[in-house]
Amino acid sequence: MPLIRTGILLAAMTALFLAVGALLGGQGGLVTAFIIAMAMNFFAYWNSDKMVLRMHGAREVSEVEAPEYVRIVRDLAARAGLPMPRTFIMDNPQPNAFATGRNPENAAVAATTGLLQSLTREEITGVMAHELAHVKNRDTLTMTVTATLAGAIGMLANFALFFGRGRNNAGLLGTLAVMFLAPMAAGLVQMAISRTREYEADRMGAEICGRPLWLASALAKLDRGTIQIDNPTAEHNPATAHLFIANPLHGGRVDNLFSTHPNMANRIARLEEMAGASSDYVEPAPTHRPGPWG
């Protein structure tokens, strides 16, 4: 069902893109915008992972530098039947993580130092299982495509007045409406896709690690940590917020049309239901780890 819902949302995004192009520029404007959008998608397909990792200052680490972190990822990848992804660490005090890469063979996972220092081994396992679920479901490619389409729609809206001088069946008022409403509609679809994939990654991540409450415990800590600790890099690059397991931007706790992530309480409740737990949530006891992540 989540896959079908995502397909429907992607189709809606594509239809919106085509409709805006046809309305504002006629056939010529549509063809030009389509070619540009395809070029953007092609570039994003091959380079989005490198761009986002560089954007957040992620550095690749080996088992020598971060033995426990890398071992956790390797064990989970084997359980999930995935190739071993590249492992990165971001020097950032906010507890968070994301996955990127165009396919499982070219995937990478990145965790902040804040996450590795503040979570237990069990909780880190839950988080990394969630990220590998994104890799297994190829969500990173899906979100790249939707982000690129949303950007293309925004580009068309910015050129609305220019296109309006040519073939435009909407008139001036229609053109102005498209300028404001089309990017908003694209953003809403993009956010809906993101929330759908987060719920599915929670479910599959819990299955991969075998302990839904490990991930639930991690999400509770991430919810508190992202509220208390700023992430300036993410604030300066809000277009990447949907990649993180927890919304790195402040003011994103409400589960509504304008949030990139589901409400944490809802996510935790679903994981508790998977585990057959009661509504009274209890975190697992901390596990001693030798050093921040080693």
pLDDT truncated to tens, each residue of the chain (294 aa)?
555 655 666 677 677 777 777 776 667 766 776 777 677 777 777 887 888 899 899 999 999 999 999 999 999 999 999 999 999 999 999 999 999 998 999 999 999 999 999 999 999 999 999 999 999 998 887 777 776 666 667 766 666 655 555 445 555 555 666 666 666 666 666 666 677 889 999 999 999 999 999 999 999 999 999 999 999 998 888 778 888 999 998 754 444 445 678 889 999 999 999 998 544 444 444 444 544 455
Please tell me the predicted confidence (pLDDT) of residue 127. Answer: 98
124, two tokens: 């880190």
Please tell me the predicted confidence (pLDDT) of residue 33. Answer: 66
Please tell me the predicted confidence (pLDDT) of residue 11. Answer: 72
Please tell me the predicted confidence (pLDDT) of residue 120. Answer: 97
Q: Three-class SS of residue 98? A: strand
Please tell me the predicted confidence (pLDDT) of residue 284. Answer: 46
pTM of the model: 0.79
Q: How far is CA 220 from CA 46, 78, 119, 146, 243, in A?
A: 34, 27, 11, 28, 18
Q: Which residues are catalytic?
A: 131
Please tell me the predicted confidence (pLDDT) of residue 255. Answer: 47
177, two tokens: 């409406």
Asked if residue 142 lies in contact with residue 197, where contact means CB atoms within 8 angstroms, the answer is: yes
Please tell me the predicted confidence (pLDDT) of residue 29. Answer: 63
